[in-house]
Amino acid sequence: MQYFTVEAVTPREALEKMRRQYGEEARILTHKNVHRGGLLGFFAKDRVEITGYVPNRAYAADSSRTQGMKTSAFSKPSLTQSQAVEEAKKKILAEARREQTFQQILKEIKGLRENLDITSVEEKMSPGIAKIEEIMRQNDFSKEFYDEIIKRIRHEFSLEDLENYPKVQNSVVEWIGEKINIYPPLQPSDKETKVFIIVGPTGVGKTTTIAKLAAINRIGNNHLHFHRVKIVTIDNYRIAARQQIETYAEIMKIPISFVESRDDFKKVLALSEDKDLILVDTIGKSPRDLSKLAEMKEILDTAGSMSEIHLAISATTKSSDVDDILKNFEPFRYRAIILTKLDETLRIGNVVSVLAKSGKPISYIADGQGVPQDIEEASVVRLLMNLDGFRIDRERIEKIFGKKEKVSKKYWS
Ligand SMILES: Nc1nc2c(ncn2[C@@H]2O[C@H](COP(=O)(O)OP(=O)(O)O)[C@@H](O)[C@H]2O)c(=O)[nH]1
Ligand SMILES: [Mg+2]
């Protein structure tokens, strides 16, 4: 007995192939469609597979003709033959079972693929999500940041609600707001002298911000203002860039001291006990000059617990640089970020993404070169208003995050 498997594209071709190879006596046992090729069943081609056998010619031919009687007396060969057929059946059944398992797996993969297709259909069906992603990208939010927001949309919105774009947008703006941390502004204290220090890269607006803070806290009409303000400039690079701040101090009639070393600073602090606010400007070259930064830190440490350090960062800085700056200045243990030059960019996603990740709060926002009007206490509302592409419902976010007015209004009206 000879078993065979024949495969072809069509049933007719398979049959012809079987006849050609195994003759007229070939018998078919199974006949099925199979998938061939492709990857995990994808792109597979359908083919026809025939399995069968050719009866043993010695028995078949002989028994039917010349040795008819003899053969009938020989039960053994016919038994062997039926055993063989049984075996063939078993083999084919086992094969079929394997095939069944394979088909099952194929079915599951197909199901998986269909699920995937459904997801992409869902994505296609909610242009709202695509639009949110696009706007967030335009605002320079990091991928990590907007992926999280989109995940949250998917999680919290029903398919029906997803159709309501204004609603989705309002929630997204609110969630971005939740990620922004705010540090409270300077408050005078009866008991002690406050030392407010600004560090940060060159050119971000530290000196300008010190002048603005001096002005709004010294001569603004806010009843909470400090009465005795002093400016100290620490210049451990000995760059002697004094004129800019000296001019401001002169106009505002605020005393100013220049300090180059730890001892200098100690002396100035000791002589300033009568002041209730000391604003400290620092001069640096490159934040990568770590030895100079270490020296600066040593000088600033002199102020000890009286002091709080804020790090100035320009809103125009790209996110990888913001990340570097946050790290380089980490030894200063700054409490908060002063965000400068907000007027120079419509994209604040970069800074918001990095700050959200680091958890650092923002204390002040500077949005122009004007001293003193272009500064305000940081507020979530102010930052959200700066987002580009979203229609911001100001009343709503003020209800959630608190109303904030421009400082110039608060101090100068
Ligand atoms: N557009 C804009 N320019 C600013 C702002 N703050 C400071 N500047 C300008 O940035 C430049 C550097 O400022 P400066 O205070 O000297 O930076 P510093 O090196 O950090 O002390 C100056 O031309 C400032 O007028 C701001 O909020 N917006
Ligand atoms: Mg400066």
Q: Label residue 407 by pLDDT band (50, 70, 90).
A: very low
Q: Does residue 139 share a domain with residue 69?
A: no
Tell me what pLDDT residue 34 has.
81
CA of 342 to the centre of ligand 1 (A): 11
pLDDT at 183 over 60: yes
Question: In this predicted model, what pLDDT tens digit does every residue of 166-179 receive, in sequence order?
Answer: 999 999 999 999 99
Q: Does residue 39 share a domain with residue 105?
A: yes
Rg of the chain on CA atoms, in Å: 41
Q: Does residue 17 share a domain with residue 99?
A: yes
Q: Does residue 51 share a domain with residue 150?
A: no
Q: Which atom, in ligand 1's list, is nearest to the CA of 200?
A: 20
Contact in structure between 328 and 317 (CB atoms under 8 Å): no
**Domain range spanning residue 399?**
194-412
**Is the CB–ligand 1 distance for residue 368 below 6 Å?**
yes
Q: Does residue 172 share a domain with residue 24?
A: no
**Is the CB–ligand 1 distance for residue 282 below 6 Å?**
no
**Is the CB–ligand 1 distance for residue 207 below 6 Å?**
yes
Question: Rounded distance, CA 120 to CA 160, Å?
Answer: 17
Q: Does residue 78 share a domain with residue 136?
A: no
Query: Which ligand minimizes its atom distance to the CA of 210?
Result: 1
CATH number of the domain where residue 290 is located: 3.40.50.300
Q: What is the mean pLDDT of the chain?
A: 83
Question: In this predicted model, what pLDDT tens digit does every residue of 349-385 receive, in sequence order?
Answer: 999 999 999 999 999 999 999 998 899 999 999 999 9
**Is the CB–ligand 1 distance for residue 343 below 6 Å?**
yes
Q: Does residue 98 share a domain with residue 172?
A: no
Question: In this predicted model, what pLDDT tens digit does every residue of 107-151 receive, in sequence order?
Answer: 766 666 555 554 544 444 478 899 999 999 999 999 999 999 999
Edge-to-edge strand list for the sheet holding 256-259: 256-259, 229-234, 277-282, 194-199, 307-314, 336-340, 362-366, 375-377
Assigned domain for 186 exists: no
Assigned domain for 94 exists: yes
**Is the CB–ligand 1 distance for residue 352 below 6 Å?**
no
pTM of full prediction above 0.75: no
Q: Does residue 313 share a domain with residue 168?
A: no
Q: What are phi and psi of 338, to 5 degrees?
A: -105, 120
CA of 382 to the centre of ligand 1 (A): 20
One-character DSSP codes across 211-236: HHHHHHHHTSS-TT--SSEEEEEE-T
Q: Which atom, in ligand 1's list, is nearest to the CA of 344?
A: 1
Q: Which atom, in ligand 1's list, is nearest to the CA of 375?
A: 27
Question: Rounded distance, CA 182 to CA 23, Å?
Answer: 89
Assigned domain for 242 exists: yes
Q: Does residue 234 share a domain with residue 135?
A: no
